[in-house]
A and B are shown apart, each in its own frame.
Chain A
Amino acid sequence: MSEIEIEVGKRHIREINQEIQEACKSGKKIRVVNTLSRHNLGVGLPDGADITFEGSVGYYCGGLNTGSHVTIERNCGWAVGEGMAKGHITVGGYAGMSCGAAMIGGTIHVKGDAGPRCGVAMKGGNIVVEGKIGYQSGFMAHSGKIIALGGAGASCADALWKGEVWVAGEIESLGVDVNVIEPTAEEVAEVDAILDPLGLKDTSRDWRKMVSGERLWYFESRDASAWLMI
């Protein structure tokens, strides 16, 4: 099957995205070249497309994805896969701030580190980071899993809701209202089932699972010590 190549350069992003949407209908693989770290590439991709961005991309790449398989060969800027519902995004290098923000489904796999607030306000899906997740990652994550294999920055899992943050490696510090709990064998197996298809399963990992302390939920706590945590 031949591949469709789309050039970015200095062209208008709207024009490029329209071309990408048309190419998705063909069922062919798509390769987007000369990306120059431009913003908003591949936003709103449909189900079933297979698209590769050669080089680095800017903000919001793969945002609102509804089922495409997206590969970013190098780095991405802020909010890769923001609000995605379904599909898979692989980032070959570093993922900037707010990776997977408010996503509701699908998987984001980052091969390098992820910046601050990885998985902020996510409502479903999984984010797997082979490196370290940045400052305040998991902030107010409502659901889904953030899995970091290379440690976490400061204020980890701050104000978490029903999401889970799993970290192997060093955690610089915990955020407010977070409990670190010992995962059950079944829970570890669930995480391994996410990592296995990515070739990252390793049963020797020493996991720390973070969940909400639930003391700040609904902002109606009359327990003064809970508020003093902030």
Chain B
Amino acid sequence: MCGIAGRILGAPGKVGRDLVDLMEAQEHRGADSTGFAIYGIPRESGYVLRGMGFNKTQMDRDIENLKSTLTDHGGDFLSDPKIVSDHNRHYCFRIEMSDPVDLAAWVRDADTLTSTIEIQSCGRSLEIIKDMGGALDVADKHGVRDMIGTHGLGHARLATESSVLPNASHPFWARPFSDVAIVHNGQITDYFTWRDRLTRAGYQFLTENDSELIAVWVSDQMKQGLTMEQALKKSITSIDGVFTYMIATPDGIGFAKDRFAMKPLVVIDQNGELAAATEEQAVRRVVSEETDVINHDGPSLMGIWGVGNRSMAA
């Protein structure tokens, strides 16, 4: 059991605040860790890098090593690292950076450092913030309530199949595709089969969390030419297990549900804005009045919600 949430605003605004409210309401669904994927105003060039380091005593050296992998690929840091650290052994960082020549190639090299430092997201607009603890703890620590954007995802984790670690929290970045993030509630039962196939195809997995697989799986299908709608639909029959996941890009949020109708998703879609969550009482935190609620309770469902001039694509 985990709790997931999605939020789309009609215009850029305090999407961070809304996602914190959505996740605070679902904290009982998983208090191991909480995470947010926030889509801010997209930049023309350059990326925002979010990541985590695991040894504070060598933080400066590890960040310098990360920087040198980037300069080897023609990019550079455009800002000093903004570090967030507390009593935990890990620390988190946010860095603005210029474009490397080939993002995927740089990420592959940067991922050789993952024993000490790890990239959590890289996006023109996407920033993934995730950490141990409940929604309010994580929000306060990382200033999530003040983050401005158009849309985003949230997740409360109750770890089942993999370790309780800060980097095994959701959302997951679809490494190495920029600006793609996922949150997932469920269990993928053919995880190792798909992970083997995708690893042989050259993809890297930094955790043993099955949700990381979905992010890469969907992005890989889209790289092979499927639209997001086609990829979501295919995932329902190709991936085995019980799941409801939401995947976000700068253009919107999509969702897919397994064939067994085990994991709920409740949506309020009105006035050009959208709130989605595992539980109705959570979406009522951001839309308090009685209104029409869409219960995606059935099996084998999928859909896409666009940002901006919004329409339900499927």
Q: Which residues of A contact B (CB under 8 A)?
A: 36-39, 55-56, 58-59, 74-75, 77-78, 94, 96-97, 115-117, 134-136, 153-154
A75 touches B280 (CB 8 A): yes
In angstroms, Cα B149 to Cα A25, docked, is 51
A116 touches B279 (CB 8 A): no
Which A-B residue pairs are the 9 nearest by beta carbons? Answer: A115-B297, A37-B280, A116-B261, A37-B281, A58-B281, A37-B284, A135-B261, A55-B290, A36-B284
In angstroms, Cα B279 to Cα A137, docked, is 21
Instruction: Kindly supply a per-residue 1/0 record for chain B positions 10-54, scoring 1 wherever the CB is within 8 Å of any chain A CB and 0 otherwise.
Output: 000000000000000000000000000000000000000000000
Q: Among B280, B290, B297, B299, which residue has its beta carbon within 8 angstroms of that of A58? A: B280
Q: Among B283, B288, B290, B295, which residue has its beta carbon within 8 angstroms of that of A96? A: B295
In angstroms, Cα B298 to Cα A117, docked, is 10
| Interface bin, chain B | 10 to 19
In angstroms, Cα B264 to Cα A75, docked, is 15
Residue B293, interface by CB 8 Å = yes
Q: Among B279, B290, B298, which residue has its beta carbon within 8 angstroms of that of A134? A: B298
B261 touches A78 (CB 8 A): no
Of B264, B288, B293, B295, which is in contact with the most chain A CB atoms at under 10 Å from its CB? B295
- Chain A nearest Cβ from B301, distance in angstroms: 10
B280 touches A115 (CB 8 A): no
Q: Among B283, B288, B293, B299, which residue has its beta carbon within 8 angstroms of that of A116? A: B299
B residues near A38, Cβ cutoff 8 Å: 281
Q: Which residues of B contact A (CB under 8 A)?
A: 261, 264, 279-281, 283-284, 288, 290, 293, 295, 297-299
A115 touches B298 (CB 8 A): yes
In angstroms, Cα B266 to Cα A39, docked, is 14
B residues near A37, Cβ cutoff 8 Å: 279-281, 283-284, 293
In angstroms, Cα B290 to Cα A38, docked, is 13
- Chain A nearest Cβ from B285, distance in angstroms: 8
B297 touches A97 (CB 8 A): yes
- Chain A nearest Cβ from B286, distance in angstroms: 12
In angstroms, Cα B260 to Cα A135, docked, is 8
Known: A134-B298, A135-B299. 19 other contacts (CB 8 A): A36-B284, A36-B288, A37-B281, A37-B293, A39-B279, A56-B290, A56-B293, A58-B281, A59-B279, A75-B293, A75-B295, A94-B295, A96-B295, A96-B297, A97-B264, A116-B297, A116-B299, A134-B261, A153-B298
Residue of A nearest to B283 (CB): A37
A39 touches B281 (CB 8 A): yes
In angstroms, Cα B29 to Cα A59, docked, is 13
In angstroms, Cα B290 to Cα A77, docked, is 14
In angstroms, Cα B283 to Cα A36, docked, is 9
Q: Among B264, B280, B298, which residue has its beta carbon within 8 angstroms of that of A56? A: B280
A residues near B279, Cβ cutoff 8 Å: 37, 39, 58-59, 77
Residue of A nearest to B280 (CB): A37
Q: Among B281, B283, B295, which residue has its beta carbon within 8 angstroms of that of A115? A: B295
- Chain B nearest Cβ from A1, distance in angstroms: 27
B residues near A36, Cβ cutoff 8 Å: 281, 284, 288
A residues near B264, Cβ cutoff 8 Å: 78, 96-97
Residue of B nearest to A93 (CB): B293
- Chain A nearest Cβ from B126, distance in angstroms: 30
Of A37, A39, A74, A97, which is in contact with the most chain B CB atoms at under 10 Å from its CB? A37
A residues near B299, Cβ cutoff 8 Å: 116, 135, 154
B261 touches A97 (CB 8 A): yes
In angstroms, Cα B280 to Cα A178, docked, is 34
B261 touches A136 (CB 8 A): yes
A residues near B297, Cβ cutoff 8 Å: 96-97, 115-116, 134
In angstroms, Cα B296 to Cα A116, docked, is 10
